[in-house]
Amino acid sequence: MATSSESLTTHLAMHNHSQFLDLSKLHELPDTHTWPDLHSHFDYDLRSQVPVVDLESPDLLRRLGSVCETWGVFQITGHGVPHSLLHRLELQVLRLFSLSAQQKLLALRAPDGISGYGQVRISSLYSKLMWSEGFTIAGSPEEHARKLFPHDHLQFCEVIEEYGRQMKLLAGRLMVLMLEALGLSAEEVRWCKKGFSEATSVLQLNSYPACPDPDRAMGLVAHTDSSLFTILHQSQTSGLQVMAPGEGRWVAVPPLPGALVVNVGDLFHIVSNGRCPSVVHRAVVNRTRHRLSVAYLYGPPANAEVAPVGPRAVYRAVTWPEYLGIKSKKTFDQALESIKLTPRGDDDHTYTAK
């Protein structure tokens, strides 16, 4: 029987070793991580500000509907998630990414797996590597946590699981509010049961170490999320940028103490029949400061079909796994287009698949 060390060696042999460089120890940017043509990398607009929505505001639904339909991204306050939990979460995420490279590789994501340590999934679509590392959690974190912290994994698991519970409640609340803000009913969503209790999620922990040449590196390439929406906690180091509506310009999303970022994903774009755009976003890196973020990607049950709510559907129904498959084979801006329906004949009430 192969030892764990032998299994790790075999696993690594199947991967490009440059994916697992200890970025925090590099003093020069390697060619594997050098991105060409980043002339607009730091050309972003400081005048435009991503909206802030107070979930306790008496004007919540009007405000929420407006920002969903225009920006597709906003920061939320009054969300009820304790600041102390966000602090403990950040400490555990830092603890994880501060482990030695060899220790983190013990929890390396399997080639066909979801959970574990490694580069973000979209890395495989690009010839250059991103200046970041990630750890994905789908379900219980215990199996991988035992490998990362063989003598003390309980605290990590307790914080991650508590955060997951808080996020599930908040995401279910947001789902209902976002639909109501658009004048839609949650009961019209095919898989809605008891406040979306059967929804699924993935937790993505991200680390962006200080970079010796940030002008030529990419923390996370521009993309939209496939989820219904994503709730993001980011440390107090700027790095997140979103595409401003209708302007074609990048806008920084500065961290606000205690606030969480919500960005609309492709599946909610479909549910809203295109009224709420899934936002294009990216992460840039910093020369001197380490940045952390935790993304809670919220989606439907695996086998549930996501379809537009209301009449005159513009998109066909699709499951989350099916859509992920489509997106992995097409460029990001074509995945939604590929499931669009077209008017049938002169009757604009009837649509057919392309």
Cβ–Cβ < 8 Å for 301, 199: yes
Choose the catalytic residue: 63, 275, 282, 291: 291
Q: What angle do CA 277, 279, 284 make, to 5 degrees?
A: 175
Q: What angle do CA 24, 20, 320 make, to 5 degrees?
A: 110
Respond yes or no: is residue 291 known to be catalytic: yes
The distance between the two most distant Cα atoms of the chain, rounded to a whole number of Å, is 68
258 φψ region: left (φ > 0), alpha (ψ -120 to 50), beta (else):
left
Q: Buried b vs exposed e over 96-123: b needs ≥16 C-beta within 10 Å?
A: bbeeeeeebbbbbbeeeeebbbbbbbeb
262: β partners? 74, 231
* DSSP string computed for 163-212: HHHHHHHHHHHHHHHHHHHTT--GGGSTT--TTTTT-EEEEEEEEE---S
Structure token digits, residue 85:
């939990």
Task: State whether residue 256 is helix, strand or coil.
Answer: coil
Residues 237 and 207: their CA atoms lie apart, in Å, by 11
Give the residue numbers marked as catalytic. Answer: 291
